Amino acid sequence: MNFIEQYKATLMTFLATGIVVFSLFSIHITKKSEFIAESYYDLTPEPEEKNEEFIEELKERIAATDKAFNEDQEFKEIMKNFKTVSSNDYERTMKSIEDSKSEDEDNNEQTTESYNESSTHSYGVKKTELESFNKLNETLKKRSSTEQAEAHSKFKSTLSYSLVGRTLLRFKTPRYLCEQGGKIVVTIAVNSSGNVTDAYINGASTSKNQCLTNQAINYAKTVQFDNSNTAEQLGSITFYFKGKG
């Protein structure tokens, strides 16, 4: 009892000091918590317009993949006057022309004429028709111009066609059924009803793969053009096949 009375003042001072310190500490914690900022991020979703534009662009690209286009602007007049020549005649005629070029320059003109005459009698191709044939062949080989190459590179079209004044109404999209790929050009004969009555491989093709040529012939015979007053009209369809690999 005497001990408590003796240190009473000291104990009260200690308790008072503890209360003050505790109060100050509590106030400090409270103020510090007030300064803690809440961090949040406004995650605004991308505008739907951009998403819609992307979807539309994607649809256009997919549609363009199987889009056929008419490439007859460069040789309309040639097609009007060009006569059907079989693939065998084509090869033999071209061989005759190449052989004639190897002759001596002095006799070149005469030799070429003799070869042309022999070709016309042997294969049923007249001289004027042979000239049109050669002109058409050169034109077809020039189809891979810069503009066409860029178009195919961008849209990866599966086929193109050339038929003066006619529109392709219906066609089957070529499927990639062959191991190899390549460009196959098919010469076609179309009647007034728009049906393909004949089809054979053109020498402007870049591949002789049997699978590709068979597929091209089969697809060419299934296309449908619009009607015309012309009883029979010559044109061509170019298939761009992509291999399985």
Q: Write the pLDDT tens digit of every residue in 18-66.
A: 887 777 777 766 655 555 555 655 666 555 565 666 666 656 554 544 5
Mean pLDDT of the chain: 69
The token pair that represents 5 in the structure block: 């009375």
- Average of pLDDT values for 100-125? 49
The token pair that represents 169 in the structure block: 């109404």
Chain position carrying tokens 């003109």: 109
CA distance to 87, 141, 201, per residue, from 204 (Å): 11, 6, 9
Phi-psi region of 113 (alpha: psi -120 to 50; beta: other; left: phi over 0): alpha
pTM of the model: 0.43
pLDDT digits 0-9 by tens, 173-182? 777 678 888 8
Question: How high is the pLDDT of residue 210?
Answer: 92
Say if residues 194 and 225 touch (Cβ distance below 8 Å).
yes
Chain position carrying tokens 């010559």: 234
The token pair that represents 155 in the structure block: 């849209």
Say if residues 238 and 160 touch (Cβ distance below 8 Å).
yes
Residues 6+ apart with CB under 8 A from 103: 111, 112
Segments making up each domain of the chain, as ranges: 69-85+125-241
Q: Given this structure, which CATH class describes domain 69-85+125-241?
A: alpha beta
